[in-house]
Amino acid sequence: MLPINPRELQRQLRQLKRMGISINQLEGVKKVILELEDKDLVLEEPQVMVMEFGQQKVYQIVAGKVREVARESIREAEPAISISEDDVRFVAEYAGVSEEEARQALIRAKGDIAAALMMLQQKSG
């Protein structure tokens, strides 16, 4: 809990709303995963606040528990994904990227061609 008077908090929220800024709590969040180069940080039981102004959203996360997970253990736990060279060539040609970028996108998308194409389009857009 914040050490602030509830009336003062309500006044500040009204002032932010007049400025076009809205703050809402995101309900039902079970965990947030931050993917770092060598490990993942798993934030469990988080409280997530979303502040919106204009076309931008800012997320504030307060974690209940934090776990560090090494990348090797994550890779071992995931089943091997079989990606055909035809799928790689199709995604590369359709998205206008190299075959290696297409392969990485397919791996991240767990072999789902549509999801891989969407990732590549968002990356370039």
Mode of pairing for the β-strands spanning 31-35 and 39-44? antiparallel
pTM, entire model: 0.46
Residue ranges and CATH numbers for the domains of the chain are 6-74 (2.20.70.30), 80-124 (1.10.8)
Residue 98 — pLDDT band, cuts 50, 70, 90?
very high
Distance CA 55, CA 21 (A): 11
Contacts of 111 (CB under 8 A, 6+ apart): 81, 82, 83, 87
Percentage above 90 pLDDT, the chain? 33
Distance CA 110, CA 11 (A): 48
pLDDT of 95 higher than 80: yes
What is the per-residue pLDDT across 27-68, written as a single tens digit (0 to 9) for each?
999 999 999 888 899 999 999 999 998 889 999 999 889 998
Distance CA 119, CA 98 (A): 14
pLDDT of 76 higher than 60: no
